[in-house]
Amino acid sequence: MGENVEGYELGDRIIADQIVPCGKCKFCKDGHYWMCQPHDMLGFMSYTNGGMAEYVRYPKNCVISRVPEDMTLEQALLVEPYGCSKHAVDRGNITNEDVVVISGAGTLGLGMITYARMKNPKLLVVLDMQDKRLEKAKEFGADLVFNPSKCDIEKEIKALTDDYGCDVYIEATGHPSSVVQGLTITRKLGRFVEFSVFGSKITYRLSQKVWKKCFVGVFRTAG
Ligand SMILES: [Zn+2]
């Protein structure tokens, strides 16, 4: 612990947001610190180490939270990722009339299912290419699960929604085909939430059919 650090003692159990806000830019100053312009992140960008390291140094700009006494360290590891899951679900503005599709049932997708379930949607559908993950998705609260490699997702979702398409689609796979799928099966005026980070370029033709949908497009970065 640095000699000028106040308010903490050695042995305190703490976690930090992944972003390390600069505290000086326009976004930090107007309260949107997670959109910080330099966007330094623990273990993600080149300025601040972290991730798989045995020890991580939290610089003074870190946004630190204390781990409650009754929370194990294994649970505490999920606080930051699940915080991201919650944020993605919040951006979908889910109501109890919505058919919600979450594409991707990895760790963060499972966090999204948990939180989306608490919003009491009309129907919570989860998609994943791995059946094992879909089983997990059901455990976490999905009403219906589909494997896109085994069925026609557009047909399934249209059948569930009187041909309109889903109200909310949360993209959490990191694969371009999931973006195309989401833009195809989300209804007019629906909410498409982009969450993933992609390793390759996404190409999608904004045809007249898609243009007519007038999405409430919501995009967020990985932070
Ligand atoms: Zn900043």
Q: Roughly what angle, to the nearest 10 degrees, separates helices 153-160 and 176-185? A: 30
Q: Return the SS3 of 138.
A: helix
Please report the pLDDT score of residue 53 as a whole number: 78
Strands 19-20 and 40-41: antiparallel
User: What separation in Å is there between the alpha carbon of 221 and the centre of ligand 1?
Assistant: 15
Per-residue pLDDT band for 223 (boundaries 50, 70, 90) equals very low
- Residues 19, 3: Cα–Cα separation, whole Å: 23
Per residue in 113-135, pLDDT tens? 999 999 999 999 999 999 999 99
User: What separation in Å is there between the alpha carbon of 164 and the centre of ligand 1?
Assistant: 41
User: What separation in Å is there between the alpha carbon of 60 and the centre of ligand 1?
Assistant: 13
Per residue in 46-86, pLDDT tens? 677 777 778 888 888 999 999 999 999 999 989 999 999 99
Cβ density class 185-213: b for 16+ within 10 Å, e for less = bbbeebbbbbbbeeeeeeeeeeeeeeeeb
User: What separation in Å is there between the alpha carbon of 28 and the centre of ligand 1?
Assistant: 4
Amino acid at 27: F
Average pLDDT over all residues of the chain: 90
User: What separation in Å is there between the alpha carbon of 91 and the centre of ligand 1?
Assistant: 22
User: What separation in Å is there between the alpha carbon of 90 and the centre of ligand 1?
Assistant: 23
Instruction: Classify domain 82-219 by CATH number.
Output: 3.40.50.720
User: What separation in Å is there between the alpha carbon of 220 and the centre of ligand 1?
Assistant: 17
Domain ranges of the chain: 14-71, 82-219
Please report the pLDDT score of residue 205 as a whole number: 80
8 A C-beta contact, residue 143 and residue 134: no
Please report the pLDDT score of residue 218 as a whole number: 52
The residue to which tokens 């360290």 are assigned: 73
User: With 50 as the cut, is the pLDDT of residue 206 above it?
Assistant: yes
Please report the pLDDT score of residue 189 as a whole number: 87
User: What separation in Å is there between the alpha carbon of 24 and the centre of ligand 1?
Assistant: 5
| DSSP codes, 101-135 | EEE--SHHHHHHHHHHHHT--SEEEEE-S-HHHHH
pTM of the full structure: 0.89
User: With 50 as the cut, is the pLDDT of residue 220 above it?
Assistant: no
Q: Return the SS3 of 89.
A: helix
Please report the pLDDT score of residue 52 as a whole number: 75
Helix (H) or strand (E) holding 76, with range, is helix 73-76
User: What separation in Å is there between the alpha carbon of 18 and the centre of ligand 1?
Assistant: 14
Per residue in 152-165, pLDDT tens? 999 999 999 999 99
Cβ density class 13-44: b for 16+ within 10 Å, e for less = eebbbbbbbbeebebbeeeebbbbeebbbbeb
Tokens of 44: 């993600």
User: What separation in Å is there between the alpha carbon of 34 and the centre of ligand 1?
Assistant: 8
User: What separation in Å is there between the alpha carbon of 125 and the centre of ligand 1?
Assistant: 37
Per-residue pLDDT band for 176 (boundaries 50, 70, 90) equals very high
